[in-house]
Amino acid sequence: MHSETVLLEGHIIDSLTLSKVLDTILLLGGTYEIHRFHIGATMDQASQAEIIVQADSDERLENILHQIGQHGANRKTQEAVFAPAPADGVFPEGFYVTTNLETSIRHQGRWIPIDNIEMDCGITLRRHEGEIVAETVPLHKVRQGQPVVVGDLGVRIAPVERRKTESAFRFMGSETSSERSKARMISAIAEEMRRVRADGKKILFVGGPAIVHTGAGRYLEAMIRSGWLDILFAGNALATHDIENALYGTSLGVEIATGTHSVHGHENHLRAINTIKSRGGICQAVESGILTCGIMHACIQHQVDFVLAGSIRDDGPLPEVITDTLKAQDAMRERVKQVGIAIMVATTLHSVATGNLLPAAVATICVDSDADTVVKLLDRGSHQTWGLVTDCEYFLKELVACLNGDAR
């Protein structure tokens, strides 16, 4: 619902202005709630009413506000207040901190929606082709003198409806539960992926190395080869162990096929990294025929856009890994724009990092064998997150089956 608070003052009872305004709201298809009402104590004293006007679209709301504005019901909203950033990478005192909810700011008498909403950022203005656009700006990207919203005047956020009736997850009573039919949930995820595809939006997969360790890499690879993924976010580990498996049949020295330790297997992942580095990168390794299978091979062959973000414990890392955290964030930020669903499997840090970048309206699925990881993401305020506490091998195997039309 779109809403706006208006203030109506004067002899609004004697003049029937209040009745007129309320009737007008209903007549034009809106609803109202009288938030505050003060009746003038004597005949000479004016009365005041604060009315919350609601409508199902911005257009209808604007029409109602225009009509009732003529009868003196004026928006209570004030303009957003800006202050210049005092230095590069520093917000002005009292800056407004964004949420991941749909947000607009009031500027020069109109609401400007923020296209790239992301939590924990500031809001700035930019002129684009003669139009003023409002957008989020992360702390490290703000430049000295750039206008940044301070305080919360003139900032409006629209809460997302948590359970849309058309959502494939509408049967989920709570966001996460280990005591729920997993098959049903997984088939709902497959259904949602089809819907996202039909809407022309992208599917993002965020994965941790446990996918390779558990032998589930082949299911992820199958999903990529069937064209189900558009973007992959991971760290050095997932790519390294996937390549280790492709080159040596092991993941962290354990043979995937047999589950036994291979002799000198602990060296394999370093040898794998070294091989890729010697060729200049994963792409070159695929082109030269060194790397012939696996998740990363499938990504290269099927043009899946991937971001490998580095961390302090990384070996190597692989040449594609972005070791500057801020640059990695920016690379991820750049790619989440058209995402319609995010599936995060067996990784805490990459899941939380991605959750931070996504608008609340994007359906987010978090799968982990540890309930804490799922809860952690929900606690971050990612409202459209559904959690599934289960093993990633089972999840991916089941999901691939559902996507391949194997009804369960």
Residues of the shown chain interacting with another protein in the complex, contacts defined by CB under 8 A? 9-11, 14-17, 19-20, 43-44, 46, 70-72, 74
Of 27 and 183, CB closest to another protein: 27
> Which residues are CB-contacts of 311 (< 8 A; sequence separation ≥ 6)?
235, 236, 349
Smallest distance from another protein to CB 62, Å: 19
The 10 Å CB-count burial string (b at 16+, else e) for 76-96 is ebeebbbeebeeeeebbeebb
Smallest distance from another protein to CB 12, Å: 8
Dmax (CA) for the chain in angstroms is: 96
Of 67 and 311, CB closest to another protein: 67
Q: How far apart are CA 233 and CA 231, in angstroms?
A: 7
Residue type, 77: T
Smallest distance from another protein to CB 16, Å: 4
**What is the number of helices (H) and of strands (E) in the chain?**
13, 21
Of 69 and 159, CB closest to another protein: 69
Q: How far apart are CA 351 and CA 349, in angstroms?
A: 5
Of 11 and 380, CB closest to another protein: 11
Smallest distance from another protein to CB 68, Å: 11
Smallest distance from another protein to CB 45, Å: 8
The encoded tokens of residue 83 equal 């202050």
Strand boundaries in 236-357, DSSP class E: 250-251, 254-255, 305-309, 321-322, 339-345
Specify whether the CB–CB gap between 319 and 98 falls below 8 A.
no
Of 77 and 284, CB closest to another protein: 77
Smallest distance from another protein to CB 65, Å: 15
Of 68 and 243, CB closest to another protein: 68
The closest of 373, 98, 236, 93 to 364, measured between CA atoms, is: 373
Which residue has 């004026």 as its token pair? 74
Of 20 and 225, CB closest to another protein: 20
Smallest distance from another protein to CB 104, Å: 23
